[in-house]
Amino acid sequence: MENNKDWLYVGLATLTIIGIIGFSILNNPNTDRSTQLKGQTQNQATIEQTAQSADIDTLLNDLDFQENQVNQSLNDEPIDVLSDD
């Protein structure tokens, strides 16, 4: 009976140790999976940031066209509708 109790404690202790080790491995930032996930997230953020930066640069360049449109509309010489007289 006493012997059986010992085995129960040993079993519980073993399970606890296995649980702790398993939890540590899964949450360890140095494990491959965690590093991979972290890398993917960083890459995604970098891609999004680069895309947004490129977007801003493109939109800034597009302002050139808008300014030309304004200048053209302000400098348009009116066609003389009385020129046939």
Q: How many CA atoms lie within 13 A of 7 on its CB side?
A: 4
* x/- map, 23-62, other proteins, by CB under 8 A: -----------------------------xx-xxx-xx-x
Task: Please tell me the distance from the alpha carbon of residue 25 to that of residue 4, in angstroms, as a whole number.
Answer: 32
| Nearer CB in complex with other proteins: 16/43 | 43
| Nearer CB in complex with other proteins: 36/52 | 52
Structure tokens at 18: 């296995």
SS3 79: coil
The least CB distance from residue 56 to other proteins, in Å, is: 6
